[in-house]
Amino acid sequence: MAEARLTLAHKTQALEILRTTHKESVRELQDNALEQLVPTLQEELALDEKWREWAEAYIDDGGTIFRMFRKNGFSKTATLSALRNALLLTLPLSDLPHTHPSIAITFSPPDPPTLHVCLTYLTPSSLSSFRETLLFVYEKLRLHLAEEGPLGFYCVLDLGGARLRDIISDFIPWYATEVQPRYPSMCAATFIINYTWMYGGLWSVLRRVAPKQALSRIFFLTPEELATHFPSCLPPSEELAPVYSYPNLAIETWDDRPTSPIRFSAEHPPPERTRWKLVVTLARILGTRMRTAVWWKRWRWLGWILLLLLMRWWISRRSRRNLRRR
Give yes or no: residues 78 and 202 share one domain.
no
Nearest to 154 by CA among 111, 187, 186: 187
In a domain, 26, yes or no: yes
In a domain, 50, yes or no: yes
Nearest to 127 by CA among 184, 161, 166: 166
Give the domain range for residue 234.
Answer: 103-256
Give yes or no: residues 201 and 305 share one domain.
no
Write down the pLDDT at residue 154. Answer: 93
Strand, helix or coil for residue 117: strand
Give yes or no: residues 164 and 241 share one domain.
yes
State phi, psi for 192 to the nearest 5 degrees. Answer: -100, 125
Q: Residue 296: what residue type?
A: W
Task: Give the distance between the most distant pair of CA atoms in the chain.
Answer: 73
In a domain, 268, yes or no: no
User: 261 near 121, Cβ under 8 Å?
Assistant: no
In a domain, 264, yes or no: no
Write down the pLDDT at residue 34. Answer: 94
In the chain, alpha helices (H): 2-21, 23-32, 38-45, 49-59, 62-71, 76-87, 127-148, 164-166, 172-174, 200-209, 212-215, 223-229, 275-292, 294-325
Tens place of pLDDT per residue across the chain (326 aa): 667 778 888 888 888 899 999 999 999 999 999 999 999 999 988 888 999 999 999 999 999 999 999 999 999 999 999 999 999 998 888 787 777 778 888 888 888 889 988 877 677 777 888 888 899 999 999 999 998 888 899 999 888 777 666 566 777 788 888 899 999 989 999 998 888 777 777 777 777 777 777 788 888 888 888 888 888 888 765 443 333 333 333 333 334 433 323 233 333 333 444 556 666 666 766 666 666 666 666 777 777 788 788 888 878 877 777 766 66
Cα-based torsion angle of the residue sequence 165, 170, 176, 182 in order, rounded to the nearest 10 degrees: -140
In a domain, 213, yes or no: yes
pTM, whole model, 2 decimals? Answer: 0.72
Domain count for the chain = 3
Contacts of 117 (CB under 8 A, 6+ apart): 102, 103, 134, 155, 156, 157, 158
Give yes or no: residues 77 and 111 share one domain.
no
User: Of all helices (H) and strands (E), which one includes residue 176?
Assistant: none
Kind of pairing between the strands at 187-193 and 103-106: unpaired
Give yes or no: residues 305 and 190 share one domain.
no
Contacts of 317 (CB under 8 A, 6+ apart): none
Q: Residue 83: what residue type?
A: L
Can you name the residues that pair with 218 across neighbouring β-strands? 190
Give yes or no: residues 113 and 242 share one domain.
yes
State phi, psi for 22 to the nearest 5 degrees. Answer: -100, 20
In a domain, 11, yes or no: yes
Handedness of CA 138, 266, 97, 109 (dihedral sign): negative
Give yes or no: residues 210 and 307 share one domain.
no
